[in-house]
Amino acid sequence: MPLREIASKPYPDQKSGTAGLRKKVAVFQQPHYLENFLQSIFDVDTRLRGGALVIGGDGRYHNRTAIQTAIAMAAANGVSRVIVGQGGLLSTPAASHLIRTRRAAGGFILTASHNPAGMDGDFGIKYNVAGGGQATEGLTDRLYEHSKQIQRYRTLEGVYVDLERRGLQTVGSMEVEVVDCVDDYAALMQMLFDFDRIRDWFKRGHSLRFDAMHAVTGPYAQRLFVDLLGAPLSSIQNASPLEDFGGGHPDPNLIYARHLVDLMHSEGAPDLGAASDGDGDRNMILGRGIFISPGDSLAMLCAHLHELPGYRRGLAGVARSMPTCRAVDHVAKALGMTCYETPTGWKFFANLLDAGRITLCGEESFGTSSDHVREKDGVWAVLAWLNVLAATQLSVREIAERHWRRFGRHYYARHDYDELPASTATQVMQTLASTLLELPGKRFGDYTVTDADEFNYRDPVDGSIATNQGLRVTFGEAARLIVRLSGTGTKGATLRLYLERYENNETTLGWKTSEALAPLVNVAEKIARVADITGRRAPSVVT
């Protein structure tokens, strides 16, 4: 296996954001494209030399090819050991856990998360550092600057690792260990949750339907829900990971998991419905005839987590991303703990987790997790809900209604305007930003603006500052509007409008979300003028 240094040219579009580098498969298949990005990591983060590296992905098209490339380059760049998931599979939270337990110097997670897959779909890669969390903004900036200057990359020729054969293999002087993608993660889950109680819950006739969406969580669901907890095999669906995710869109929300939503609103629905996304870090929770929004799920878990084995010590604190509804704030206040508001991006939570300031965190984009890893964790969230149901012997609806009676209810929705011209999306943001100072004190129907600002964040752990994190219009405790740009798409720009309304009168707790938010939608158009500027009379997706 000769080591070669191959001449290359920089690509100008290798800026890695919070979610890593995401592009169409065809972009990653360009000569030297992936190699340039990986070499930039090896050159900039010198901790990888002589260290261990975890590699795995969500199983989408181009996953196996990219893993072979990454292994060959790791060997050529002085990595001493690679730990890779069997079949090239590792969910994002499982990869984070392996990085932590194996004390690896970092990890390559090959995923485009909830984006569609296949030959014409999306591919992606993100770099997680020692400790299991996402690369910091400072590191990603350095990687990008290096990628614009790179002229060569190092690799071993003729490398092939049998990804199906567990155990040790050798590539040059580097060891490659192929591991079962579920084993370590399943052991961790059994430390956190009361498997005996959940097993008994199933034996009493309760039921689950989990949709893996033909993505990476299928093997995890099989092992945990069926093999270890005794749920019937019919409890999981779409459990075989496919390179194109079965042609579906692996985003667990009310639109792309509509079949599950319909099932949970049908006669004879299971007690708990749940789904996860492409790489296993997102989750959707439903009960019979009821959808639990991500913000509500975070708040309800915050109220119950101390009842579960892994959290009986109590919660150090809680955090939510700024666009996430303020439901968890009310629980944190009642329990006497600090609630942090951070920008969107799990790396901001990771700082708080590493400092021991929080135990639980979550975001409105269907992500929830705790201090057990440094990523959001979809399967963990489903297990947490199962354990809460088994511990309380209540239904999902009963837990929700009891919670709303105590803390009030935050009606919430996100309106996504996808594939906008970047100039149009920017115009919406700039137009609203120019009026923020004029808004406080103005009345719009039943709502009076109490504050309007651009969200900037000073990290309480390291003092770093994140700016331009979204525009907020607040109507006291009664409501909020938020507008921000998303960086998760690969085509055009995505503009997101968030609507939140708080009610704590028992007579107002049973409204339909669309009806409760209808007055706020009208206010949002008067303030943000999204339809007027974009020409879109309706959002692409409402969740």
Distances from the Cα of 511 to the Cα of 119, 315, 401, 437, 501, angstroms: 43, 32, 12, 33, 12
Confirm whether 464 is a catalytic residue: no
Number of residues written out for the chain: 543
H or E element, residue 176: strand 174-179
Reduce the DSSP state of residue 106 to 3 states and report it.
strand
Q: What is the dihedral of CA 200, 203, 204, 205, to 10 degrees?
A: 140
Cβ neighbours for 35, distance < 8 A, ≥ 6 positions apart: 6, 8, 69, 73, 153, 155
Which pair of structure tokens corresponds to residue 529?
A: 């003028």
Q: Which of 12, 80, 361 is nearest to 352 (CA)?
A: 361
- Please pick, among 113, 276, 369, 370, the residue that the annotation labels catalytic: 113
Residue 481 and residue 497 in contact, taking contact as beta carbons nearer than 8 Å: yes
Q: Is the dihedral of CA 10, 13, 18, 22 positive or negative?
A: negative
| Pure H helices in 193-326 | 195-203, 218-221, 258-264, 294-304
C-alpha to C-alpha distances, 265 to 110, 268, 271, 287, 383, nearest whole angstrom: 35, 9, 11, 9, 22
Q: How open is the CA angle 384-185-21, to the nearest 5 degrees?
A: 95
Buried b (16+ CB within 10 A) or exposed e, 413-443: bbbbbbebeeebbebbbeebeeebeebeeee
Q: Output the CA torsion sign for 117, 324, 100, 53.
A: positive
The catalytic site residues sit at 113
